[in-house]
Amino acid sequence: MTTPESQPVPSTATSHPLRILITGSAGFVGSHLVERFLNEGHTVIGVDNYISGQVSNTDLFRDHPRFTFIEADVSHGIPYTGDKLDWVMHFASPASPPHYQQFPVETLMVGAQGTQNGLELAHAHGAGFFLASTSEVYGDPHVHPQPETYWGNVNPIGVRSCYDEAKRYAEAITMAYHRSRGVNTRIIRIFNTYGPRMRPDDGRVITNFVHQALRGEPLTVYGDGSQTRSFQYIDDLVEGISRLMMVKYHEPVNLGNPDEFTMLELVKNIERLVQVSLNYTLSPLPLDDPRQRRPDINIASTKLSWRPTMSLNDGLSIIILQYKNPTK
């Protein structure tokens, strides 16, 4: 008797060779997708303008025979003239508050014009279009945990709105192209994700805390430390993306770890792993910073047979070791 658990899981690992264009390929998530798809035998075209991506991430794959890189700002167009594409994956955007608040206009443009340019390219090639959206579309949520049916609580003119509203618009235009022009679309809402290849100045809490801890500095805790986040390791996110590509489901899907931690609990976790007593300082909570964030992953579990497998302690151990030995 075949049970749901014994059925093969759809994945790009089981697909025929694909030609995949990834915007934001030099970014944290984008570079891990490039690696995954090349290892599976697919051909990858990376596109990035390095506004928040890293040249070092492109250099990892530059000599690979199935990797091509195009340096371009996708907000102004995607200068691809090669063979027929199977997928256009739009992962280009500053994603941490310090970066998107430094580049608010560019962030809005890549969410708006960049998304439309990706959709037009996918439409022209008869390719699938995959949008990286974010849990930030939920804003400071009044519903907890957050299901995909929740419309969110976003300040449309606040300091975070350049990112939040760019992604909300990107979702809207993606669904419009699917409904009116038949583009085969996917949308994911990514919850806090961490792992190797994050920029040292990323500005999100795990990179901040780990670097401060390793330097022997007090950790900067915003607010009173009671606000919560759910932390997902990069390999779990990439696995969810791979599975969704092979499943015909067009509405948004949350990809995140439902294990929820306060900021003070995160301090304690890092303290145990670095085996040093850590001090912390309290700073005012940034404007519009969400008080709580945790995904409802029922759709991902049901449609993709997906759940994250990396615990926070195991994931933190990996990046602490990497930060201690950056050349390994």
Active site residue ranges: 163
User: Three-state SS for 62?
Assistant: coil
CA distance 153 to 155: 7
User: Three-state SS for 192?
Assistant: coil
Using an 8 Å Cβ cutoff, are 177 and 123 in contact?
yes
Tokens of 175: 């669904």
CA distance 32 to 41: 15
Tokens of 164: 């939040």
Using an 8 Å Cβ cutoff, are 101 and 94 in contact?
no
φ/ψ of residue 233, rounded to 5: -80, 145
The region, left, alpha or beta by phi > 0 then psi within -120 to 50, assigned to residue 301 is alpha
Q: Residue 8: how many CB atoms within 10 A of its CB?
A: 7
Cis check: omega of the bond before 196, within 30 degrees of 0: no
CA atoms within 13 A on the CB side of 111: 24
φ/ψ of residue 186, rounded to 5: -135, 145
